[in-house]
Amino acid sequence: MQFSDFSSPAFFANPYPFYEKIRAAGAILPVGPKAFVTGRFEIIDALLRDPRMGKTYLQSVAARYGEAATAQPVFQSLSRTLLMMNPPAHTRLRALLMKTFNARGIEKLTSIVEATTHELLESVGSRAEFDLVSDYAFPLPVRIICRLLDVPVADATALGGAASQLVAAFDLAPLDQNGLHAADEAALTLERYFHGVIEQRRAQPGDDLISAMLSVEDEGVRLTDEEVVSNAVLLFIAGHETTSNMIGNMMIALFRHPQQMEALKQDPKLLPQAIAECMRYDGAVQMLVRTALEDISPGEVSLARGSLVFMLIGSANRDPSAFPSPDTLDFARNASTPSVAFGAGIHYCLGARLAALELDVAMRSLLARFPAIRPVDLDGLAWHRRNNLRGVTSLRVYTR
Ligand code: HEM
Q: Where are the domains of the chain?
A: 57-299+329-338+350-398
* pLDDT at position 2: 63
Taking the C-alpha atoms of residue 371 and residue 366, their distance in angstroms, rounded to an integer, is 8
Of 159, 228, 313, 349, the one to substitute when testing ligand 1's pocket (max ligand atoms within 8 A of C-beta) is 349
Taking the C-alpha atoms of residue 237 and residue 166, their distance in angstroms, rounded to an integer, is 7
Taking the C-alpha atoms of residue 385 and residue 393, their distance in angstroms, rounded to an integer, is 10
Taking the C-alpha atoms of residue 343 and residue 45, their distance in angstroms, rounded to an integer, is 8
Query: Which residue type is seen at 198?
Result: I
* pLDDT at position 170: 75
Taking the C-alpha atoms of residue 366 and residue 135, their distance in angstroms, rounded to an integer, is 12
Which residues are bridge partners to 303 per DSSP? Answer: 296
Enter the DSSP assignment of 135: I
Q: Which residues have a Cβ under 8 Å from the Cβ of 323 and sit 6 or more positions away?
A: 41, 280, 317, 333, 337, 339
Q: Which residues have a Cβ under 8 Å from the Cβ of 298 and sit 6 or more positions away?
A: 27, 28, 43, 46, 47, 50
* pLDDT at position 249: 98
The four Cα atoms 279, 105, 153, 238 give a dihedral, to 10 degrees, of -40
* pLDDT at position 3: 61
Residue with the smallest CA separation from ligand 1 atom 40 is 83
**Spacing, Cα 377 to ligand 1 middle (Å):** 30
Q: Is 235 in the pocket of ligand 1 (CB under 6 A)?
A: yes
Q: Is 349 in the pocket of ligand 1 (CB under 6 A)?
A: yes
Q: What is 57-299+329-338+350-398's CATH superfamily?
A: Cytochrome P450 (1.10.630.10)
Q: Is 341 in the pocket of ligand 1 (CB under 6 A)?
A: yes
Q: Is 347 in the pocket of ligand 1 (CB under 6 A)?
A: yes
* pLDDT at position 160: 86
* pLDDT at position 40: 97
Question: For each successive 10 residues of the chain (400 residues), what is the average pLDDT?
Answer: 74 95 94 92 97 93 89 90 92 87 78 95 94 96 92 91 84 83 92 94 91 84 87 89 96 97 94 97 97 89 92 98 96 90 97 94 96 94 91 96
Taking the C-alpha atoms of residue 204 and residue 214, their distance in angstroms, rounded to an integer, is 12
* pLDDT at position 64: 83
Q: Where are the alpha helices (DSSP H) in 26-105?
A: 41-48, 57-65, 73-79, 89-103
Taking the C-alpha atoms of residue 54 and residue 87, their distance in angstroms, rounded to an integer, is 9
Taking the C-alpha atoms of residue 14 and residue 9, their distance in angstroms, rounded to an integer, is 9
> Which residue pairs, CB below 8 angstroms and at least 24 apart, start in 378-382?
378/252, 378/255, 378/256, 381/13, 381/252
H or E segment to which residue 240 belongs: helix 225-256
* pLDDT at position 63: 84
Peptide bond into 88 cis (omega under 30): yes
Please report the sign of the dihedral spanned by the C-alpha atoms of residue 104, residue 109, residue 115, residue 120: positive
* pLDDT at position 129: 96
* Residue from 84, 65, 58, 53 nearest 237 by CA: 84
**Spacing, Cα 359 to ligand 1 middle (Å):** 14
The answer to whether the CB of 5 falls within 8 A of the CB of 29 is: no
Residue with the smallest CA separation from ligand 1 atom 24 is 239
Burial call 150-172: b when 16+ CB within 10 Å, e when fewer: ebeeeebeebbebbbbbbbbbbe
Residue with the smallest CA separation from ligand 1 atom 19 is 349
